[in-house]
Amino acid sequence: MKADPKGVLTGAHYIDGDHACAEGAIAAGCRFFAGYPITPSTEAAERIASRFPFVGGTFIQMEDELASMAAILGASWGGRKSMTVTSGPGFSLMMENIGLGVMMEVPCVIANVQRGGPSTGLPTMVGQQDMMQARWGSHGDYAIIALAPQSPQESFDLTITAFNFSEKYRVPVLFMLDECIGHMTEKVVIPPAEEIEIEPRRLTDKPPGDYLPYETGKDLIPDMADAGMGYRFHTTGLTHDERGYPDMSVECQGKLVRRLMDKINNRVDDITIIRKEKIDGAEVILLSYGISARVSTLSIEKARKKGVKVGRVRLITIWPFPEKEIAKLADKIKAFIVPEINMGQISREVERVVAGKCDVISVPHAGGGVHDPEVILEAIMEAVK
């Protein structure tokens, strides 16, 4: 299905990553937004508030992030594409209901414009410290999708991808910006609506009598019915069977948890978005994401000038982690160098995946700023010594 022209501001714009995220959402068909103001994400909410009345969208500022997350789940069941935006403290409050979204299999998008933590931390300054919280933040075992943009343009493009993945896989998708990308203003080109591909909801075509809300075929993803369509279905955060009815058996739990994980993990190839550059013949590979990937550009150029063969991998899909892609590269290089604005979250994941086949050099930053390119350069030079 193509995007609705009413929501698409085709043309070239000079906007920041937060605004671009808002425009991406509207272009993707998002027509319900619930949120609670928090720096550095608020601009996205403000843009949606000002744009929604012209496109038939409903904006509501809730009393907190617990409510915001619950409201977007309800709204998605009500038949609208729904989203919220937040930052660290709000992301923490959303966790329980992100888990409910996973369990009920509710398409929706949560954007987290990351700032420095823990706690209130650095409200106006950058961090990438919620990457593991994105993966593991809600209790229980589950798989989830998380994407990280490195520019306002990508913030627009990938917000649409986030909505599409959420509908396709029936899972909340976490859109992991960082303060730098959120507040960075650049040219953003919004294409004509007919060039924007939109994933429609997987609505069931079965009549009410035959429909089981959590019955799945080979792809392990159930077809959906929205409230009010006449299916009179039940859904719960309790462990449930195909009818959506609670079933506290070990067998049902095993089947459900495995399916919730497999429906994502079996499709890593489809979900993986990764950018590779000068991988062939590389001695070392710089692997990063978001603003840290951008900051590394100068370091990579300097190292190459010094004659070091540096390849580059930029992760856009963070979760599910593109294990195969990364493991494949580990055989051929001396080391991965992983700069990120946290104390080594994704670098540990890389370490796990390469399993000793090459070195993994974490270049941590506690937050509040980006890396000094010289520090990254030193790490590269150290790796090839």
DSSP state of 201: P
State which residue, 91 or 233, has the beta carbon closest to other proteins.
233
Q: 150-179 in b/e burial notation, b at 16+ Cβ within 10 A? A: bbbbbbbbbbbbbbbbbbbbbbbbbbbbbb
State which residue, 44 or 73, has the beta carbon closest to other proteins.
73
Asked if 80 touches other proteins (CB under 8 A), the answer is yes
Between CA 271 and CA 317, with CA 310 as vertex, the angle to 5 degrees is 15
Q: How many residues bind other proteins (CB under 8 A)?
A: 59
User: Is residue 108 helix, strand or coil?
Assistant: strand
Query: Residue 263 CB, nearest distance to other proteins (Å)?
Result: 19
Query: Residue 157 CB, nearest distance to other proteins (Å)?
Result: 19
Instruction: Name beta bridge partners: 122.
Output: 116
| Binding flags for other proteins, 37-56, as an x/- string (CB under 8 A) | ----------------xxxx
| Binding flags for other proteins, 199-228, as an x/- string (CB under 8 A) | -xx-x----------------------xxx
Distances, alpha carbon 246 to alpha carbons 70, 291, 304, 354, in Å: 20, 44, 59, 40
Pairwise CA distance, residues 87 & 152, whole Å: 17
What angle do helix axes 152-169 and 17-28 make, rounded to 10 degrees? 40
Asked if 246 touches other proteins (CB under 8 A), the answer is yes
Can you tell me which of 37, 74, 137, 364 binds other proteins, judged by CB under 8 A? 74
State which residue, 51 or 314, has the beta carbon closest to other proteins.
51
State which residue, 72 or 377, has the beta carbon closest to other proteins.
72
Contact 375, 363 (CB under 8 A): yes
Q: Report the interface residues with other proteins, using CB under 8 A.
A: 1, 4, 6-7, 29, 31-32, 34, 53-58, 60, 62-64, 66-68, 70-82, 96-97, 100, 104, 167, 198, 200-201, 203, 226-238, 243, 245-246
